[in-house]
């Protein structure tokens, strides 16, 4: 179960270091074998490869009417391996598709991570707060 936020800077080549708190878990869970793809909300999703393979099977079975969505998820999917320093490379195409610049946020989302441009994520969070609590959460409390 991945959770928590980490502020990270991409290097000039588009590499990012996986935070130490997640690096060990990813090494154990999937030997550092990961898959990155585009999320339509404007971020990159990072999956341990076995988790991604389950999603990929579902996505490839979608009907023809969902072809555009298959292109978003499968077309941008890239297998990457953590290097010995715990870094991964985010391809230029994927960075451009979601607008990743230098400062990014890596958010644990349970089974996977989302990687957001830091400024874009702050804007999205503020929009959510301004919109108020959605009806689906009306009965939720801590």
Show the domains of the chain with their CATH numbers.
2-133 (3.40.1550.20)
pLDDT at residue 142 above 90?
A: no
pTM of the model: 0.93
Instruction: Tell me the per-residue pLDDT of 36-71, one tens digit each, with 9 for 90 and over.
Output: 999 999 999 999 999 999 999 999 999 999 999 999
Give Dmax (Cα) for the chain.
Answer: 46
- Show the CA angle centred on residue 118, arms to residues 24 and 28, nearest 5°: 10
Instruction: Tell me the per-residue pLDDT of 71-125, one tens digit each, with 9 for 90 and over.
Output: 999 999 999 999 999 999 999 999 999 999 999 999 999 999 999 999 999 999 9
For residue 106, what are its two tokens? 């890596």
**Strand positions, DSSP E, the chain:** 2-9, 15-17, 33-39, 43-48, 78-81, 87-89, 103-110, 113-117
């Amino acid at each position: 179960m991945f959770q928590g936020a980490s502020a990270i800077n991409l290097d000039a080549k588009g590499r990012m270091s996986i935070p130490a708190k997640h690096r060990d878990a990813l090494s154990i869970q999937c030997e550092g074998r990961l898959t990155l793809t585009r999320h339509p909300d404007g971020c990159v999703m990072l999956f341990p490869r076995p988790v991604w393979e389950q999603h990929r099977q579902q996505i490839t079975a979608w009907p023809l009417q969902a072809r555009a969505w298959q292109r978003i998820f499968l077309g941008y999917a890239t297998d990457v391996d953590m290097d010995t320093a715990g870094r991964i490379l985010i391809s230029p195409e994927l960075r451009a598709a979601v607008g990743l610049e230098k400062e990014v946020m890596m958010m644990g989302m349970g089974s996977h991570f989302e990687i957001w441009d830091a400024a874009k994520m702050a804007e999205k969070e503020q929009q959510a707060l301004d919109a108020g609590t959605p009806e689906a959460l009306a009965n939720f409390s801590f």
